[in-house]
Amino acid sequence: MTNLSLPPPFLVNGLSYIPPPSAKAFEEEFAGILPPGKDIQSSRGTIHYYDFNPSASSNTKKVLLIHGIGTSAIGIAPLARQLTASGSHVVIYDLWGHGNSSTPLEAHTPALMHLQIFEVLSHLGWNKVHFVGFSLGGSIVATFAAVYPQVVESAVLVAGAGLWKKKNSEWWNEVQKNGDWMVDAESDHTIIEELVGFAPSDRTWKEALQRGEFVSQPIDQWQRDNHKGHIASVVSLFRYGNVFDQHESYRRLIESEIKVLVIVGEFDTSFPPEFVKRELGELG
């Protein structure tokens, strides 16, 4: 029998994570869009979250919103405000390596994203909640609900990721060599360009965000400029996370007793309605 030796923890300056940038700097740059943020000191560093109705009674409908890859929680703030206005207790948080949350120095697998959810729920004292996930957040919700249905009251997946297949990706081979990852600047650039782009920011974004419109470029740019672990988190999520081939999790979610709503945009080019219907239809 072969004896296995597990690798030691990866540490930088004695830490198992890359600390996030200053929350104050972020709030000054994006003032007037989010409620005051709060930190959770978790087992993987800091998790930054926003509570839109902290004085809500315990019997108010509890909703946890999860944003997509590249942007931070601020991208779903308009939806959070609408749900709060309807009477829900809404909380949003920055995924690992996004906004003002730390970057754990480990592969960003679905399990790591699930751990972050549990850290947030434990801090809030929430036992069972309604989940809403956008893009990658939708895939995180699907994989989480498939494993932990007892925590999920309902699941809403908005343009949820996870249904792409690696074998059908035209640019998948660009970041691999002989079936293995090319861990270098060129492959990282390919991933970042595909997922979040490199377009310059439009300085009218502040007014657009305050009107409730979704503008990703300035958020992406701020993170690249200020969060030392952001790009590493985005690349790791793409490589090891919930972006591709999560069909089994979707199948388990469909077969569960959880109330599920899937929402896609009529003109969405990343997750076209016909594509989503076909992939989900094949699951039953």
Q: What is the pLDDT of residues 83-138, one digit of tens each?
A: 999 999 999 999 999 999 999 999 999 999 999 999 999 999 999 999 999 989 99
Question: Is 67 within a domain?
Answer: yes
Question: Is 84 within a domain?
Answer: yes
Closest CA to 245 of 166, 192, 171: 166
Question: Is 37 within a domain?
Answer: yes
Enter the pTM of the model. Answer: 0.86
The token duo for 242 is 């919930």
Which H helix or E strand runs over 249?
Answer: helix 247-255
pLDDT in tens, 126-162: 999 999 999 899 999 999 999 999 999 999 999 878 7
Q: Which domain holds residue 90?
A: 17-269
Question: Is 7 within a domain?
Answer: no
Q: Which CATH number covers residue 135?
A: 3.40.50.1820
Among 28-32, 62-66, 77-81, 273-277, where is mean pLDDT lowest? 273-277
Of all residues in the chain, what percent carry a pLDDT higher than 70? 80
Burial class, 233, CB count within 10 angstroms (exposed 0-12 / middle 13-18 / buried 19+): buried
Q: How many domains does the chain have?
A: 1
Q: Which pLDDT band, with edges at 50, 70 and 90, does 203 fall under? A: low
Question: Is 260 within a domain?
Answer: yes
Question: Is 23 within a domain?
Answer: yes
pLDDT in tens, 224-270: 999 999 999 999 998 888 888 888 888 898 899 999 998 887 777 77
Q: Which pLDDT band, with edges at 50, 70 and 90, does 206 fall under? A: low
Quote the CA–CA distance of 80 and 69 in Å, as a whole number.
18
Quote the CA–CA distance of 212 and 61 in Å, as a whole number.
23
Query: Which of the pair, 94 or 283, is modelled with greater confidence?
Result: 94
Question: Is 137 within a domain?
Answer: yes
Closest CA to 106 of 11, 243, 5: 11
